[in-house]
Structure 1
Amino acid sequence: MLLHTVFTAAGALPSGFSLVITPLPVLCALLICVLAARVGGWLAARRAAKVSAVEALGDVAVEPKKLGWFRLSLGVLLVPAGLAVAIVLPIVLPGESAIDGAASSALVMVIAVGLLGPKLFGGVARLLSRRPGDVTRFLAIANSRARARRLSAATTPLIMGVTMASAQLFSGTTLAATAHDQAADGVIADHVVTSDSAGISPGLAEELRKVPGVRAVGPIARTSTILTWPDGDSTQYRVSTAQGVDPAAVPDTMNLDVRRGDLSDLTGSTVALSRLVAGTVGVDVGDRVDVHLGDGTVKKAKVVAVYENGLGFGDVTLPHDVVLEHTTDHLDEWLMVNSDREADLSAALKAYPTVSVRDAGAVTAAPTDDASDSGMSLAFNAVLLGYLAIAVVNTLVMATISRRREFALLRLVGTRTSQVRSMMRKEAGIIVLCAVVVGTIAALPSLIGMSYAIRHSVFPSIPPLMYLGIVSAAAAIAWPAVMLPTRLALRPPAVEAIAQPE
């Protein structure tokens, strides 16, 4: 029910879409859970059943120092594989496939982190041990190195959460920042005429052209289109924001950063596409693509240009008269005006009380076409991150509460209770530090690759406050899961606690 509400709010499901609950999904989920539990139990008991009793007791007392050769080798090999995916795919693959390819490197890096968790956690502890500190810091680092496997079992899901949250959130901020920059930098016009109502009458553009000092007026109409293209035995489609422009006014009013072709040919059954969409559809200048217009009309349009600034102005650019003809209101959204300083536009606008003249900053980026997909992705990631948080809390609580005899021994040899708490605070800090550092490093190749695919820049947009929120969330999960069990484990007197079984 909760996910149905979230998907409806995100636009992924229609508001009238009813939810039907049947027992079949519940039974399937129950079967999968039982099967996963049986397989997990078999894997956990497989080695325990093979080793001798003496060796098993030794493993309980002291963790094995080395990882298995297969696990270690696979983890080491996946690191360059993830880097290669993040670097090569954005260069080789066309269109949005480059973004998806770069995003997949985050998954590869997360798997590598899972395999190499104890090594990574122990490495962070060794680096911290080089800086001198008090006795509680020494004990925290020594414990972290000695219990690298157990603590990495909790740290690894936390690292996965940091990596996935960073990849998800910062890819969205990179898209938004790119769209804003393209819209802001692509406007050449001196003024933008906007309306407080549904739109602007197309006749106003002709009136403004008659004003002395006005050099060019470029009307902009917006709509949504559906591009369809064959893909093997099936037909693919993509919903895209489209704009209708006057090709004669484009050079003096807006810069779409044309890479191939010429926008002056944008007349009749023609279309210009952004680089990302052209690569996704698999067309170039001179090819034809089926464009479904706002009223359902299908045009087999010839591609006359491929441009870069699709996120800022729209992925599809059509002739202005074609867009107006096939929309319901037949209105423009903006008028971009290039004029001299002496040009007085107020007289021409007196008959239009809802219309005003603003500066170039009034142009906003084209609305995104995948809002529902982003909402679904965030919802699914929230569920997954919630599961990871539960795994982290459970593992840390069990690992901490099982150390009550260790805490008792420390108190019996002279360590104060406050020092034990200080030691555990520093261990919690090491866990959070390792999760944030390693998780950020694991996410960076994916973000760099996506940023290059989106805007040919290796610098993704990472808002500091959003990153601080991820760090705070990691600390909010790990810190109480360590400190609350520590307080519980320290409640019994040391003599009683050391006599209790593990």
Structure 2
Amino acid sequence: MSIRSVLAYKLRLFLTVIAVVLGTAFVSGAMMFTASLNAVFDSAVADSLAGVDAVASSDAGLIKTQQLEELKQDPAVAKTNLYESTDVVVAKGAADPIQTGSGTSTLRPWYPPEDTVGKARAIVSGNNPVGEGEVAIDEGSAEKYGIAVGDQLIVVDPTAQHTYTVSGLISKEDGASHGVGVFMAADAYQSIYSSEWGVKSVLVQGSEAHDADLVGILQANHPEVTFQAASVLSADLTKQIRTALSFVNYFLVAFGLIALLVGTFIIANTFAMLVAQRLKEFALLRALGMSRRQLTASVVVEALIVGVIGSAVGVAAGAGLVQIIQYVMSRMGMPLDNASMGLTALSVLVPLALGTVVTVVSAWAPARKAGSVRPVEAMRSTESASGSSLVARTIIGAVGILGGIAIIALAVSAQDWSTKKAAIAVGIGAFACIVGFFLASPAFSIPVVGVLGRIIGLPFGAVGKLAATNSRRNPKRTATTAFALTLGVALVSAIGMLSATMRASVDDLVSSEVQADYVLSGPGDGSFPIPVAVPDAVRNTPGVDSMATIAYSQVTIDGQSAVTSPAPQIPSMTYVSTGDLSKEINLTDTEGSFDLNPADVFIADRDFAAANGWQIGQSYPVVGVLGEDLGQATLIGTYGPSKILGKMQLSDATVKETARDASANMVAILVNGTDPNLRPNLEQAVADYLVVQVRTAKEYAGAQVDSVTQMLNILYALLALSVIVAVIGIINTLALNVIERRQEIGMLRAVGTQRSQIRSMITIESVQIALYGALTGIVLGLGLGWAFLKVLSSQGLNTIAVPYSQLVLLLIGAGVVGIIAALWPARNAAKTPPLEAIAE
């Protein structure tokens, strides 16, 4: 019976299946994509360590040169290779940087095949790189970026700029690297790029006589060096990559679940309408002897069939989604070499089960309602349920909203709560508000939809009034349909508020604190530091009156660091500077001096200094992250709260030419000058350093926000999924509504209503529902967005801003959505034959 019912109402249930498909497609697609990424990176890690016996490193950060020589002479060691790389920017010819998209170009040491530890890479064209003036290029990079043997390349690293000649091409490397692969003879690489204090890590191949317990033997012979079996390191790296990629999976799955959540309202609404339309049919079945349980079970089985079909199609669509993502990544310069589909048992079974369960649960309440139908209902109107009382659910909803607001108010006003605790409380309050709003929404919709109907329907006369009346006839249906859109718009509004607030906060920070005329920095995403030679070039530029540099080093002052890392494996750091910062930064509540040119001096936030018992004129120990004694630094000045300077700034000269030298970690140069040609002079001075950009403080702030905005744009694109599901919900409701009101529409046609007027009536109803959903979503989103931003004010988001233009666009978009959603149902309504409809 259930199968016959599904086939009989296949047109009505088609859009419900689509709602299930969209949610499960995203969940399965996310899981498949993550599995595909895992496979690519697993392969890359395994390939890089294939044939390697052990990897040597040091807890002190560097294997000292003497320790390395002793390792090479060990009888247990057959060969060693440096295991290092340096991020670089590569340009061809006249300072024309190669655009690698999201990829990072790297320079690595190269060994001839006979000297290679692990998988050898041979020269396939040209000659081996020799000395400090030649490099070889990965064959894949050469092909992609048009590099040939004999070309001159400009290579900028964190310390300097070099010109190298391409001597040869190296066999193509598999994996997920999308930058330019540059290789230099190992001895030359070590001379130029390895630290003068030693090397970071070394690949080891053991001699045949010591293969059994190579790691144990080496550890005993060289206790100051740490050895790890390559197989163990490969497993650890693979685990770290999987952990990092799990965020991508959670992130994408979360949006799939949002789509499914939105879909639950559509599914429940659809089955509720189908049950209402089939009351006579159910009543006749009850009269013929079918029990309540059997009737309920038949509707549940229908939902089960829909859920299984929708979920199965969703899994197939998820596989297609993976192909689309991989294609887009390839077009954006991020190809995944040898990427698979990522088809696993979990990526199929989890979405299949999830979509089916969600569908059955959503249909449970309508199924129970179907089972409660009495035989006498066969003689009643199918719309008898439409006027049921809203009092109980409105009261419960109001209690939920007020309770949620109370929790949010407590979290926002609590002074002694941590940011995490307050954010969790706001999340609980937000959930209570959303659930409460869903329950109370039918009551809210009666006056709001009535006003919207009168305003929208005014130009359409009697048709507009009729449309406004129709939307208010079943407030439960209207509210449930609109709520799918409410959720999507609420999320978009909240994220839009976050984006506007971030921009406003950064703008306020820059305008209130930075008094430098120009800020010099690396690429906008902060992925590359300023080369070491740039400060001298800037200092000698005509028109520069004063300048300051800001870098960072892994040191502590009296046991304190300026930035504490959230992860124990990542060292904390302290900012180091040169120049008189009072000339470049607008400081408040100052005391003492702020000239950080001399060595062994530092400045600190006044409250931070007081909390640590520091006093101006007193000296405190400076210690490297691995315990190196770097001397004493004297506190020379204190300042009021500063988001730019943070807790403290140490003079760069304090760590100069030590193991904690900050030269390669420079993030910004602040410049002041009165010369009207200062900007072109600066741009000319740094033109040869391809990565340095000259910006005003406002431009610099905008670049920082733009990188975050790009990330938020991805969120908008993903949230569009929930809006698409919501549109399907409106189409679904209108289509079923047209079927339900077939006699009414036929009567209107019989008394002279034109087809165009019927289409207008259905379209106006659709626009009312969409606008109601958008308006309530905006109110909900702004309220919850404000609450979260108040909690995050301690993180620097002090200036809460409302994206008014975006909200207006959302409302206009909602109106367009309503019109689009009405096209098919309105067309079907207009085609209703008057006499046939009345006869039914």
Paired letter, 1:447: G
* Maintained 8 Å contact 1:192/1:335: yes
Task: Pick closer, same or farther for the CA change 1:338–1:140 going to 2, 3 Å.
Answer: same
Tell whether 2:701 aligns with 1:364. yes
CA shift, 1:439, in A, is: 1.2
How much does 1:349 deviate? 10
The residue correspondences of 1:51-62 to structure 2 (distance < 5 A) are 52-54=374-376, 57=380, 60-61=383-384
Q: Which residue of 2 aligns with 1:485?
A: 825
Q: Which residue of 1 aligns with 2:203?
A: none
- Equivalent residue letter for 2:744: E
The one-letter code matched in structure 2 to 1:493 is P
Give the equivalent residue in structure 2 for 1:119. 443
Asked if 1:462 is matched to 2:800, the reply is no
Letter in 1 for 2:671: V
- Alpha-carbon shift at residue 495 of structure 1 (Å): 0.5
- Structure 2 residue aligned with 1:135: 462
**How far, CA to CA, are the matches of 1:191 and 1:110 in structure 2?**
47
Counterpart of 2:480 in structure 1 is: 153
Q: Does 1:398 align with 2:736?
A: yes
Which one-letter code corresponds to 1:432 in the other structure? A
Q: Do 1:220 and 1:320's aligned partners in 2 also have CA atoms closer than 8 Å?
A: no
* 3-state SS of 1:178 partner: helix
Shift of 1:139: 0.7
Query: How many Å apart are 1:167 and its aligned residue?
Result: 1.2
Classify 1:488/1:126 alpha carbon distance in 2 versus 1 (closer, same or farther; 3 Å).
closer
Quick one: distance in 2 between partners of 1:285 and 1:263?
20
Tell me if structure 1 keeps the 8 A contact 2:747–2:838: yes
For residues 375 and 327 of structure 1, the distance between their equivalents in structure 2, rounded to whole angstroms, comes to 38
Which residues of 2 match residues 25-424 of structure 1 at below 5 A?
25-50=347-372, 52-54=374-376, 57=380, 60-61=383-384, 63-67=386-390, 69=392, 71-92=393-414, 93-95=417-419, 98=422, 102=426, 106-128=430-452, 133=458, 134-192=461-519, 199=530, 201=532, 204=535, 208=539, 214=545, 216-221=546-551, 227-228=564-565, 244-246=575-577, 249-255=580-586, 285-286=611-612, 310=643, 313=644, 318-319=649-650, 321=652, 326=660, 330=664, 332-338=666-672, 354=688, 359-364=696-701, 367=704, 381-424=719-762
Does the aligned pair in 2 maintain the 1:187–1:253 contact within 8 Å?
yes
Q: CA deviation at 1:124?
A: 0.9
Partner of 1:475: 815
**Preserved CA contact (<8 Å) 2:463 2:761:** yes
Instruction: Sort the Cα spacing of 1:461 and 1:36 in 2 relative to 1 into closer, same or farther, 3 A.
Output: closer
Higher mean C-alpha displacement, 10-19 vs 423-432: 10-19
Q: Secondary structure at the match of 1:460?
A: coil
SS at match of 1:217: strand
What residue is the counterpart of 1:446 in the other structure?
Answer: 784
Q: Secondary structure at the match of 1:246?
A: strand
Aligned length: 474
Moved more, 106-115 or 426-435: 106-115
Q: Distance in 2 between matches of 1:421 and 1:309?
A: 61
Gaps of 5+ in 1: 230-234, 279-283, 288-294
Following superposition, the deviation at residue 115 of structure 1 comes to 1.2
1:291 match: none
Kindly indicate whether the alpha-carbon contact (under 8 Å) linking 1:263 and 1:272 is maintained by their aligned counterparts in 2: no
Cα separation, 2, equivalents of 1:181 and 1:124? 38
Letter in 2 for 1:397: A
Q: Which has the higher contact order (CA 8 A, sep 6+)?
A: 1
Letter in 1 for 2:767: G
How far apart are the structure 2 equivalents of 1:239 and 1:177? 31
Deviations 1:284-330 (A, max 9, x none): 9549xxxxxxx986999x9x9998664xx597865353898657862
Counterpart amino acid of 1:330?
A: A
Q: Note the alpha carbon deviations across 1:47-70, whole angstroms, 9 max, x for none.
A: 34335344684563451242261x
SS at match of 2:383: helix
Partner Cα distance (1:370, 1:344) in 2: 30
Contact 1:193–1:357 (CA under 8 A) maintained in structure 2: yes
Distance 1:59 1:299 in 2: 83
Q: Distance in 1 between matches of 2:438 and 2:738?
A: 21
Assess, with a 3 A threshold, how the Cα gap between structure 1 residues 407 and 474 changes in structure 2: closer, same or farther. same
**AA of the residue aligned to 1:437:** L
CA-CA distance at 1:187 after TM superposition: 0.9
Distance change (3 Å), C-alpha of 1:41 and 1:203: closer
Cα gap change, 1:391/1:125 in structure 2, threshold over 3 Å: closer, same or farther? closer
Q: Please tell me the root mean square deviation across aligned C-alpha atoms, in Å.
A: 5.3
Answer yes or no: is the 8 Å Cα contact 1:110–1:163 preserved in 2: no
Q: What SS class does the counterpart of residue 75 from structure 1 fall into?
A: helix
Q: Secondary structure at the match of 2:575?
A: strand
1:209–1:217 CA contact under 8 A, matched in 2:
no
Q: C-alpha distance in 2, partners of 1:198/1:34? A: 51
Q: Deviations over 1:335-369 (max 9, x none)?
A: 32345679999999997664897654453368479
Deviation per residue, 1:447-484 (Å, 9 max, x gap): 222443436757424151x3344334433433222232
1:430 aligns with 2:801: no
Distance 2:522 2:512 in 1: 22
Instruction: Tell me if the contact between 1:227 and 1:237 (Cα under 8 Å) persists in the aligned partners.
Output: no
Q: 1:90·1:101 contact (CA, 8 Å) conserved in 2?
A: no
State the one-letter code of the partner of 1:188: Q
- Amino acid in structure 2 at the alignment position of 1:173: A
Structure 2 residue identity aligned to 1:482:
A
Superimposed CA distance per residue, residues 45-93 of structure 1 (whole angstroms, 9 cap, x where no aligned partner): 2234335344684563451242261x32221022223333444423424
Query: How far apart are 1:488 and its partner, in Å?
Result: 1.2
Q: Which runs of 5+ in 2 are unaligned?
A: 1-27, 38-100, 103-244, 249-333, 555-561, 614-623
CA distance in 2 between partners of 1:263 and 1:108 (Å): 53
Q: Which amino acid aligns with 2:742?
A: R
Moved more, 317-326 or 105-114: 317-326
